[in-house]
Amino acid sequence: MAWIWGVLVAASTVVGIVTGNGEGLGTAAVEGAKSAVTLVMGIGGVTCLWTGVMEILERSGLSAGLARITRPVISVIFPDSIGEDAEKNISANMSANLLGLGNAATPLGIAAAKELSEGDAATDNLCTLVVLNTASIQLIPTTAAALRASFGAASPFDIIPAVWFTSAISVTAGLAAAGLFRKLWRG
Amino acid sequence: MARLNAVSALVVPVMLCFTAIYGLYRGVDIYDCLIAGAKRGLHVMADILPALIVLLPAVYMFRESGAADMLARLLSPVFGALGIPPETAPLVLLRPISGSGANAVAGEIMASHGADSLIGRTAAIMLGSTETTFYVTAVYFSAAGVKKARYAVPAALIADLAGFIAASFAARLFFS
């Protein structure tokens, strides 16, 4: 992350000054910091509602049931043993992603991430979890469809088969890459 | 369209209703659960806020400086070779770093090419099948206290790239 941040800022500053967009840079940085707070305020309420619902799922035994159903899939994606609590959270995280409940999926994924992490370097399982969550897998692409509708598409949801096809390829490529890096990555 | 809209609008209330009834049926104090869970949610928010406060200024600077546009122009021949329409290059570059930025750029593409054009559809498919990779990575790692991301970002970007290529292919396959 250190390199990504450094390269983004350095490239922006150099390009901004060279192309004469320099004076907007300071404002952009301030706006970015401000929007981080607005963003968290905006999603905070919904996220807390969902972490509340998750607590019900947990105490009523529903998340254990869900984990049993998704176990075959999860054991293929995560070949190393991950423990029961992580499995429950990953299973609920994947289900929430599928339903398009991003704000519910995030705290579940984070709970799983905490269980999968050891020390300050990402474990193989944590990398896999992140890849799974950065490749959007949802049944109904609501944001994309809403955007299409607002620009006058005749039937905004007709992209669904294409989105499923694309998501499947993207997730497969990500998991294959993670599987390969798992063997080859040094450090 | 109307039916699907209605279905996706009902996901949230149906989920809430179902968990409430199931919890009550199993004799769980659902109100106590909700409060305890919401409190935990606040901790999650506190964990991810620092990462966002640090990350978003860099993303905003990258967009404002024109570096994002410049990279898009530089890479558009490469995208062409991969079958990705050059018109979607700004979206491809912005998608992994900024969700709202990607929505705005996809909107511009649909406005100038038409939502039902091949380019407009490609943009929508790209938007619907990928995520804001850097945001997700930053949120997960800062919450888990991880400092070394190892190969998570390259692997996630490979997934994104495969998604962009597949989206361009799928648009041609399904709609032309």
The residue segments making up the domain with residue B166 are 44-175
* Interface contact A98, partner B, CB < 8 A: no
Specify if A31 maps to a domain.
no
- First vs last Cα of chain B: how many Å apart? 21
Specify if B31 maps to a domain.
no
Complex confidence, ipTM: 0.84
Specify if B133 maps to a domain.
yes
Number of domains in chain A: 1
pLDDT tens-digit profile of B22-61? 999 999 999 999 999 999 889 888 888 888 898 889 888 9
Put simply, the chain A residues between 20 and 59 with a CB less than 8 A from any chain B CB are: 21, 24-25, 27-33, 35-37, 39-40, 43-44, 47-59
**Which pairs count as long-range contacts for B69-74, CB under 8 Å and 24+ apart, including other chains?**
B70/A15, B70/A19
pLDDT tens-digit profile of A71-91? 889 998 998 878 888 999 999
Residue for token pair 């949610």:
B41
pLDDT of residue A157: 86
pLDDT exceeds 90 at position A155: no
The pLDDT-based confidence of A165 (bands split at 50, 70, 90) is very high
Specify if B131 maps to a domain.
yes
Specify if B19 maps to a domain.
no
Interface test with B, best of A82, A117, A163, A185 (most B CBs within 10 A): A163
Q: Which of A38, A87, A50, A107 is nearest to B47 (CA)?
A: A107
Mean pLDDT of chain A: 88
- First vs last Cα of chain A: how many Å apart? 15
Specify if A122 maps to a domain.
yes
Number of domains in chain B: 1
Specify if A169 maps to a domain.
yes
CA atoms of B66 and B70, how far apart (whole Å) = 6
Q: Which of B35, B73, B40, B135 is nearest to A136 (CA)?
A: B135
Burial B108-121 (b: 16+ CB within 10 A, else e): ebbeebebbbbbbb
CA angle B117, B102, B7 (to 5 degrees): 70
CA atoms of B20 and A86, how far apart (whole Å) = 24
CA atoms of B130 and A137, how far apart (whole Å) = 8
Q: What secondary structure letter does DSSP report for B147?
A: -
Specify if A56 maps to a domain.
yes
Enumerate the H helices of chain A as residue ranges: 2-18, 23-59, 62-77, 84-98, 102-116, 124-134, 142-150, 160-184
pLDDT of residue A187: 65
Q: What share of chain B is helix, strand, coil (3-state, %, to 5)?
A: 85, 0, 15
Specify if A13 maps to a domain.
no
Interface test with B, best of A25, A43, A56 (most B CBs within 10 A): A56
- The answer to whether B34 contacts A141, with C-beta atoms less than 8 Å apart, is no
CA atoms of A139 and B8, how far apart (whole Å) = 10
**SS3 category, B6:** helix
- The answer to whether A107 contacts B129, with C-beta atoms less than 8 Å apart, is no
The pLDDT-based confidence of A177 (bands split at 50, 70, 90) is very high
Conformational region of residue A20, where left means phi above 0, alpha means psi within -120 to 50, and beta covers everything else:
left
* Interface contact B38, partner A, CB < 8 A: yes
- The answer to whether B58 contacts A150, with C-beta atoms less than 8 Å apart, is no
CA atoms of B126 and B111, how far apart (whole Å) = 16
- The answer to whether B136 contacts A187, with C-beta atoms less than 8 Å apart, is no
* Interface contact A185, partner B, CB < 8 A: yes
pLDDT exceeds 60 at position A115: yes
- The answer to whether A153 contacts B63, with C-beta atoms less than 8 Å apart, is no
pLDDT of residue B48: 80
* Interface contact A1, partner B, CB < 8 A: yes
pLDDT exceeds 80 at position A2: no
Specify if A167 maps to a domain.
yes
The residue segments making up the domain with residue A71 are 37-184
pLDDT tens-digit profile of A15-69? 999 888 888 899 999 998 998 888 888 778 888 888 888 889 888 988 888 888 8
A121, β-bridge pairs: A118, B148
Specify if B22 maps to a domain.
no
Q: Which of A178, A102, A175, A85 is nearest to A136 (CA)?
A: A102
Put simply, the chain B residues between 76 and 95 with a CB less than 8 A from any chain A CB are: none
Q: What secondary structure letter does DSSP report for A154?
A: S
pLDDT of residue B6: 67
From residue A166, how far is each of B60, B70, B174 by CA, in Å?
A: 28, 27, 12
* Interface contact B176, partner A, CB < 8 A: no
- The answer to whether B41 contacts A120, with C-beta atoms less than 8 Å apart, is no
Specify if A19 maps to a domain.
no
Using 70 as the pLDDT threshold, list the residues of chain B that sit under it: 1-8
